[in-house]
Homo-oligomer: A and B are copies of this chain.
Amino acid sequence: MKTLLLCCLLCFGVRAARADEGMWPYNQVPVEAIRSTFGVSLDSTWLRHLQRSTVRLGNGCSGSLVSPDGLVLTNHHCVQDVLVGHSTEQNDLFAHGFVARSRAEELPAPTIAIDVLVEMQDVTARVRAALAGLDDQKANEARKRVLSQIELASEAASRKDPATGSLHCEVVTLYQGGQYMLYRYKRYEDVRLVFAPEDAIADYGGDPDNFQYPRWDLDMALVRVYEDGKPAHTPEYLHASPAGPAESDPVFVSGQPGTTERLLTVAQLERERDAVLPLRALLESELRGRYLQFGKIGPEENREVQDPLLDLENGLKVRRMELAALLDDSLLASKARDERALRAAVTADPALARDAGGAWDEVAHAQARARELEVRHDLTEGRSGMRGTLWTYARTIVRGAAEREKPNGERLREFVETQLPYVEQRLLAPDPVYPAIERLEMSFGFERLREWLGPDDPLVHAVLGRTAPDTLAARLVAGTRLADPAFREQLWKGGAKAVAASDDPMIVYVRTLDPALRAIRKQWEDEVDAPTTRGSEAIARARFAVYGTSRYPDATSTLRFNAGRVEGWTEAGKPVAPFTTIGQAFARATGDDPLALPPSWIGARAALDPATLFNYCTTNDIVGGNSGSPVVNAKGELVGLVFDGNIESIAGTYWFDPRVNRTVAVHPAAMREALVRIYGAEGLAREMGLVR
**Residue among A289, A324, A466, A590 with the most chain B CB within 10 A?**
A289
Main secondary structure of the interface of A (DSSP, over half): helix
Give the distance to chain B from A289, nearest Cβ to Cβ, in Å.
3
* A323 interface residue per 8 A CB criterion: yes
Within the complex, which residue of B291, B297, B327, B329 is in contact with A278, where a contact is CB–CB below 8 Å? B327
Contact with B along A570-598 (1 / 0, CB 8 A): 00000000000000000000111101000
Within the complex, which residue of B291, B320, B328, B451 is in contact with A282, where a contact is CB–CB below 8 Å? B320
For the complex, give the distance between the alpha carbons of A296 and B439 in Å.
11
Instruction: Name the segment of A2-10, A29-37, A204-212, A400-408 touching the other chain.
Output: A204-212
Interface residues of A in 380-397 (CB under 8 A from B): none
Interface residues of A in 458-507 (CB under 8 A from B): 466-468, 470-471
* A172 interface residue per 8 A CB criterion: no
Interface residues of A in 279-305 (CB under 8 A from B): 281-283, 285-294, 296-297
Within the complex, which residue of B327, B466, B470, B592 is in contact with A590, where a contact is CB–CB below 8 Å? B466
* A683 interface residue per 8 A CB criterion: no
Within the complex, which residue of B293, B447, B455, B470 is in contact with A205, where a contact is CB–CB below 8 Å? B455
Contact with B along A618-654 (1 / 0, CB 8 A): 0000000000000000000000000000000000000
Supposing A274-B327, A278-B327 touch, asked if A208 and B454 sit within 8 A by C-beta, the answer is yes
* A450 interface residue per 8 A CB criterion: yes
**Residue among A287, A323, A455, A470 with the most chain B CB within 10 A?**
A455
Supposing A212-B454, A288-B289, A290-B292 touch, asked if A468 and B327 sit within 8 A by C-beta, the answer is no
Closest to A470 in B: B296
Give the distance to chain B from A569, nearest Cβ to Cβ, in Å.
16
Contact yes or no, A293 B289, CB < 8 A: yes
Supposing A451-B207, A468-B592, A591-B466 touch, asked if A323 and B278 sit within 8 A by C-beta, the answer is yes
Contact yes or no, A593 B468, CB < 8 A: yes
* A416 interface residue per 8 A CB criterion: no
* A-side interface residues, number (CB < 8 Å): 47
Contact yes or no, B289 A285, CB < 8 A: yes
Contact yes or no, B208 A455, CB < 8 A: yes
Chain B residues within an 8 Å CB radius of A293: 289-291, 293-294, 440
* A18 interface residue per 8 A CB criterion: no
Chain B residues within an 8 Å CB radius of A208: 450-451, 454-455
Contact with B along A250-274 (1 / 0, CB 8 A): 0000000000000000000010011
For the complex, give the distance between the alpha carbons of A471 and B281 in Å.
28
**Residue among A293, A297, A590 with the most chain B CB within 10 A?**
A293
**Residue among A282, A591, A593 with the most chain B CB within 10 A?**
A282
Contact yes or no, A471 B289, CB < 8 A: no
Chain B residues within an 8 Å CB radius of A451: 207-208
Chain B residues within an 8 Å CB radius of A205: 455
Give the distance to chain B from A328, nearest Cβ to Cβ, in Å.
8
Contact yes or no, B440 A471, CB < 8 A: no
Give the distance to chain B from A200, nearest Cβ to Cβ, in Å.
13
Chain B residues within an 8 Å CB radius of A289: 285-293, 444
Contact yes or no, A209 B455, CB < 8 A: yes
Chain B residues within an 8 Å CB radius of A324: 274, 278
Contact yes or no, B278 A467, CB < 8 A: no
For the complex, give the distance between the alpha carbons of A580 and B294 in Å.
40
For the complex, give the distance between the alpha carbons of A455 and B206 in Å.
10
Chain B residues within an 8 Å CB radius of A270: 329
For the complex, give the distance between the alpha carbons of A506 and B481 in Å.
50
18 A–B contacts, CB within 8 A, in A order: A205-B455, A207-B451, A208-B451, A212-B454, A278-B281, A285-B289, A286-B288, A286-B292, A289-B290, A289-B291, A289-B293, A289-B444, A293-B294, A293-B440, A466-B590, A467-B592, A468-B592, A471-B592
Chain A residues in the interface with B (C-beta under 8 A):
205, 207-209, 212, 270, 273-274, 278, 281-283, 285-294, 296-297, 320, 323-324, 327-329, 440, 444, 447, 450-451, 454-455, 466-468, 470-471, 590-593, 595
Known A278-B324, A288-B289, A296-B470; 10 more pairs at CB < 8 Å:
A208-B450, A208-B454, A281-B282, A281-B285, A282-B320, A286-B286, A289-B292, A289-B293, A290-B292, A297-B297
Q: Which 3 A-B pairs have the closest CB atoms?
A: A289-B289, A285-B285, A293-B293
